[in-house]
Amino acid sequence: MPVITTSQELRKRVDALKKESFITIDTEFLREKTYYPLLCLIQIAGEKDVFAVDSLAKDIDLTPIWEILDDPKIVKVFHACSQDIEIVLHEHHKVPQSVFDTQIAAQILGYGENIGYGNLVTKICKVSLDKSSRHTDWSKRPLSEKQIKYALSDVTYLRDIYLTLKEQLESRERVLWFEEEMEKLSDPNCYIPHHDDAWKKLRIKSGSDEYLSIVKELATWRELRSQLVNKPRNWVMKSDAILEIASIVPKKDKDLDNLRFFKTSKSDVREEILAAVERGLSSKPPKLIKKKILPKGAGPLVDLLKVLLKTQCDYHDIAPSVVASIENLEKIATVTDLCKNHPDIPPMHGWRYEIFGKFAIALSKGELALSAENSRIILIKPKFE
């Protein structure tokens, strides 16, 4: 099985792909022991060639791969690309150009919510993949022939999947729908961790202003420390320890002794924690995001909108999550000036409005009813039709 371990061979193989209209690509990585994912293997396929690149090989220069990812003339086909793009951004500091995500295309074409690669291979290529190597430790060398074969299968079938989905998007006139979704994934901010927001990932139900301020500062410190030492967050400090320390408000080093969830003798870490607590005591408290309570009577309308969304998406053969989120439905149910092109509600714009938004407005205004016929939901008397 072909695995490239030298810069010279990598340059030769990638240069041969530069005349292709598209390539398929996938990565294998580990992140159980690190903050940033460790890139272990890169799989690439063109029309005829397919190979894997050992990104852990000594002195290998991955510049040819970055060059082809930067080339806007060549479409880069991934499946569920967000983690792959995160890795590329970390290693190369740029987001790939001209990306085609087959999972998003499949959602827009009605293959299901977040459909996995294996299921898509089965549906389109009529092949069942061997998944026995999916839990491989990709950092260990040498890789077996079975492991390499498994890794390459992630890009070989992707070629036929891409061509099939591309043709279906074009024939069903959904290319613009797809491009709108892909545009969101080209924003680097989607993949860059924002340390000031780290506290929002903690399970905080309530607390005083002092408590919340200290939690925020400790979570920010942990995020920055984890990035610096490239270790998982909970290896640096457990989330429970953050909440425990914020509760006791330690002022001196000895105050950190005998804590249940925090155990370290490293003086620099203890000093940094005390400094974070001090910053918390003098900083403006963050606003705790509370679960939105819907006005009385809005809940049933949200439930009806869910049924309407599912009905319309079944009819148009598209995954509901691509059209509207639960948050969108709650806004529709509570906004008093609901109208086309409402600035804060995506289903009120473009193609989403045509297949769902205008129906949602009619339902909210009592101009549309839902009923059942032959075990199916039907729409009754929309005035705009």
Tens digit of each residue's pLDDT (9 = 90 or more) over 304-327: 999 999 999 999 999 999 999 999
Is the domain spanning 3-190 CATH 3.30.420.10? The answer is yes
- Average pLDDT for residues 227-249, to the nearest whole number? 95
Q: What is the structure's pLDDT at 309?
A: 98
Q: Using pLDDT thresholds of 50, 70 and 90, give the confidence band for residue 206.
A: confident
Helix residue spans in the chain (DSSP H): 7-15, 63-70, 82-92, 102-108, 117-120, 145-171, 175-185, 209-229, 233-236, 239-248, 267-281, 298-316, 320-323, 326-334, 350-352, 358-364
Where along the chain do its domains lie?
3-190, 195-281, 298-380
Q: Is 249 left (phi over 0), alpha (psi -120 to 50) or beta?
A: left
Q: What is the structure's pLDDT at 93?
A: 94
- Average pLDDT for residues 59-88, to the nearest whole number? 97
Q: Residue 384: pLDDT above 60?
A: no
Q: Residue 145: pLDDT above 70?
A: yes
Q: Which two tokens stand for residue 285?
A: 């408290």
Q: Using pLDDT thresholds of 50, 70 and 90, give the confidence band for residue 214.
A: very high
Q: Counting every residue, how long is the chain? A: 385
Q: Which of 66-70, 137-141, 264-268, 323-327 has the lowest mean pLDDT?
A: 264-268
Q: Using pLDDT thresholds of 50, 70 and 90, give the confidence band for residue 192.
A: confident
Q: What is the structure's pLDDT at 363?
A: 94
Amino acid at 64: P
Q: What is the dihedral of CA 171, 174, 175, 180, to 10 degrees?
A: 180
Q: Using pLDDT thresholds of 50, 70 and 90, give the confidence band for residue 1.
A: low
Is the domain spanning 195-281 CATH 1.10.150.80? The answer is yes
Q: What is the structure's pLDDT at 193?
A: 86
Count CB neighbours of 117 within 10 A: 20
Q: What is the structure's pLDDT at 292?
A: 75
Separation CA 211–CA 190 (nearest Å): 29
Q: Which two tokens stand for residue 148?
A: 């390499």
- pTM for the full predicted model: 0.91
Count CB neighbours of 213 within 10 A: 22
More confident residue, 342 or 383: 342
Q: Using pLDDT thresholds of 50, 70 and 90, give the confidence band for residue 36.
A: very high
Q: What is the structure's pLDDT at 287?
A: 87
- Average pLDDT for residues 138-156, to the nearest whole number? 95
Separation CA 277–CA 281 (nearest Å): 6
Mean pLDDT over all residues of the chain? 93
